[in-house]
Amino acid sequence: MTRRTLFGTSLAAAAAAADGLPSVTHPRATSGDSVEPVWKERLSVTVGPSGADINGSTERAVQAAVDAAARWGGGTVRILPGTYRFRNAVYLKSDVRIVGAGLDTQIVKEPSVKSALAADSDWYDQEITLKDASGFRLGDGVCIRGKNADGNGNVVLKRTLVARDGNRFKLDRALRENAWLPGSPTVATLFPLFSGENISNIQIENLAFDGNKDRNEELDGNYAGCIFLQDCARISIRGVTARNYRGDGISWQICHDVSVEECHSHDNTGLGLHPGSGSQRPLIRNNKLVANDQGLFFCWGVKYGLAERNTIVGSRRFGISIGHRDTDNLIRDNEIRSSGEVGILFRKERGFAYNAHRNRVERNRIIDVTRDWGFGIDIQGQTGQVRIGDNEIRHSGAAEKRVGVRIGEEAGEITLAANRIEGFAEAVKDLRKKA
């Protein structure tokens, strides 16, 4: 049984069991029903530089294969070995599995180009005018950025250029925000390499993404990454390399039941893995997160997640960061080495209700912090009901001002149990006022 089939059937079966309904023992394919037989074969389409069902080495060829599989009601897209150069994202579709040949299937982002706008565009417009259109092509994925009319907020819009007359370009969708010259709007060819919005039941396996960060501008993980997902469910990402993106490696926002396993996210300027706001039940297992700004970042309201057996090395700031209403998560059996400032950070939030409560940190190895004032674990804000047990927290060099576990003065109930803490100037620094 494939992961996609398991996703579809397990939830329906669980719901039936909870209601006391009989088990489905002889399933049939019934219109609108996600419980189906386990089909031995499904439709498959190949894409590659040559000798494939669809020949090509750009995002257009891969998009054509994804669209074909989706039109058949789901199936597998096999991306053959080769180097594929993207000027836009591939937009994923529900019930489609995409499989590559590991490091032999390289997907590279082309260098970004940028221009200021030459004329205002209103929120209802579906076109923009560039000051300098050199380097832009039809089909390019672009990001339009500027300030709101009142100057108090940012506008960030992702679109595709679909028609042209000189410096004027039509967009695939209306702006729905004002792009006015007083807000200094710019347009740049920035996009995720794989993008999914409002889809479900997909698999991404054995692909290597390269964000070409030395020749691209920054686009943060709320909008992009090598892989970026928004409002999705039941996603499996396995055996993927996500590297060199000027932003995040893999980011998913308001996405539920996402599993990321055996992936290698490294040398990104942002976050290695970014389970984003509101994401429920993420499974993050057996990944290597190396030389990112932060290794694993729990965003806002990430709940009931499991992060285990990951190796997180050389994060420039934090190995793992958890904060705003990230509750009821389990972080265990990870190895976190050579973090710049903190191995595991519980972020300070605006008040008690906003902090990361009821989380467990167990059986991790937190080795070395490079800043001489760094912390193995740092618990900030009014964080409470956290258990930190059976961890090895060790620094192998000079202790300097480093602290094994720091508990902030506003912290609530923090349980420390059977941790081995060695090599720090202070093993535990508890700043809470004693009764």
379-425 pLDDT, tens digit per residue, is 999 999 999 999 999 999 999 999 999 999 999 999 999 999 999 99
**Which residue, chain included where needed, has tokens 């190995």?**
319
Q: Give the residues across from 209 on adjacent strands.
A: 107, 242
Gap between the Cα atoms of 303 and 90, Å rounded? 29
Gap between the Cα atoms of 249 and 270, Å rounded? 7
Gap between the Cα atoms of 425 and 253, Å rounded? 39
**C-alpha dist (Å) from residue 77 to 80, 186, 316:** 9, 35, 36
Residue 117 DSSP class: B
Secondary structure class of 161 (helix, strand, coil): strand
Gap between the Cα atoms of 311 and 334, Å rounded? 6
Parse the chain into domains and list their residue ranges: 47-109+192-430, 114-188
Q: Give the residues across from 375 on adjacent strands.
A: 342, 403
Low-confidence ranges of the chain (pLDDT < 50): 1-7
Gap between the Cα atoms of 310 and 329, Å rounded? 15
pLDDT at 12: 58
CATH of 47-109+192-430, one of 3.90.1170.50, 3.30.565.10, 1.10.3720.10, 2.160.20.10: 2.160.20.10
Secondary structure class of 68 (helix, strand, coil): helix
Count other C-beta atoms under 10 Å from residue 253's C-beta: 21
Gap between the Cα atoms of 156 and 187, Å rounded? 10
Residue 72 DSSP class: T
pLDDT at 2: 47
pLDDT at 433: 85
Gap between the Cα atoms of 427 and 394, Å rounded? 9
Strands 114-116, 186-188: parallel, antiparallel or unpaired by DSSP? antiparallel
Count other C-beta atoms under 10 Å from residue 3's C-beta: 17
Tokens of 69: 């599989």
Gap between the Cα atoms of 281 and 303, Å rounded? 6
Question: In the chain, what percentage of residues exceed pLDDT 90?
Answer: 90
